Homo-oligomer: A and B are copies of this chain.
Amino acid sequence: MIKAGIIGATGYAGGELVRLLQNHREAEVVWYGSRSYIDKRYSEVYQNMFRIVENVCRDDDLSELADQADVIFTATPQGFLAGILTEEILSKTKVIDLSADYRIKDVAVYEKWYGIEHKSPQFIREAVYGLCEINRGKITSETRLVANPGCYTTCSILTAYPLVKEGLIDVDTLIVDAKSGTSGAGRGAKVANLFCEVNENIKAYGVGSHRHTPEIEEQLGYAADRPVTISFTPHLVPMNRGILVTEYASLIRKPDGSLPSYAEIRAAYEKHYGGETFVRLLEKGVCPETRWVEGSNYVDIGFVVEERTGRIVMMGALDNLVKGAAGQAVQNMNLLFGLRESEGLDLAPCFP
């Protein structure tokens, strides 16, 4: 039985980790870290876990936890893990970090977009970017530190990746218009996230400056094998869960001036995702919707070729707390420990 510790267990992503690990046959949670609720029973904070989780919340003592746990999930604010991670900890246990601290290889880019100094850049190189469908081979029993991808980024990258990789689209024209449910904003007490402020509203935010932008650019840059600069615009939607991305790019015409066909584009997706458990390439004419993936680890992907404009509209949907956070973290844990990749994640989406 894998012993897992969670730092930040009372945030929304932390709570989802608890839910998923309850359902996991080979792992158990041994530490519910929550600085805000130390010594309070976990089920008093998340009453859904009443009579399911009997533990009390504990402090964020990473050193002590490293002695007790085989793997530590950190669902913590940006900069937190970078400030306390040590070689000693990594020598004792594996760490799956749900924050952005080790996602971006260029520390200058991290510090510019996040506006904070990185306190332990020495671990960045070692960290594996845990986008399982793309980096599966690097997530092994040898791996000590996994940088679990962001919610917007997971959805944005997976939706475009095969077409970038196969050179079917002009990445310089790529625009990602993303829409997220409100759990992505976290459980902090802010006026902007009150029910009455979010309900009956839609807005863009962080236009041209959202922190997930360089993460998407870096990963798609690997696929394109050159630097990529994109427009990324997130929006806040009045719903609890779910991310939908709508991505626009010009298709690269063939020598004869024609556009790649639907079948050719589909083949590119099939090539990369044909064997994937958690990526569902929808049938022609079907658009992804967040409701159809809610509660599950699936990413649903669809696309439409616009003959009139020469563009493709790619769409992807996932549950930001599952594939966009806790589910992918569990998937990474499964890979780290050589378990069946979908263990604990065999959840059919729940509708309505």
- Does A242 touch B at the CB level, under 8 Å? yes
Interface residues of A in 277-300 (CB under 8 A from B): 280, 282, 286-296, 300
Q: Return A323 CB to nearest CB of chain B, in Å.
A: 14
User: Which residues of the other chain, B, contact A351 by a CB distance below 8 angstroms?
Assistant: 15, 19, 46, 48
CA distance A179 to B204 in the complex (A): 11
- Does A207 touch B at the CB level, under 8 Å? yes
Q: Return A324 CB to nearest CB of chain B, in Å.
A: 14
0/1 per residue, A228-256, Cβ < 8 Å to B? 01110101011111101010100000000
0/1 per residue, A336-352, Cβ < 8 Å to B? 00000000001111111
The reply to whether B196 and A183 contact each other, CB–CB distance below 8 Å, is: yes
The size class of the interface chain A forms with chain B is: 35 or more
Copies in the complex: 4
Closest to A279 in B: B51
The reply to whether A246 and B230 contact each other, CB–CB distance below 8 Å, is: no
**Which stretch from A97-105, A218-226, A303-311 is at the chain B interface?**
A303-311
- Does A198 touch B at the CB level, under 8 Å? yes
The reply to whether A237 and B237 contact each other, CB–CB distance below 8 Å, is: yes
- Does A2 touch B at the CB level, under 8 Å? no
User: Which residues of the other chain, B, contact A300 by a CB distance below 8 angstroms?
Assistant: 47, 50
CA distance A30 to B106 in the complex (A): 54
Q: Return A187 CB to nearest CB of chain B, in Å.
A: 6
In the complex with contacts A12-B352, A23-B348, A208-B304, A291-B239 CB distance below 8 A: no
0/1 per residue, A196-220, Cβ < 8 Å to B? 1111111111011000000000000
- Does A191 touch B at the CB level, under 8 Å? yes
Provide a sorted-by-A list of 9 A–B residue pairs whose CB atoms are within 8 angstroms. Answer: A19-B350, A48-B293, A49-B349, A175-B248, A182-B194, A200-B200, A202-B239, A202-B290, A231-B306
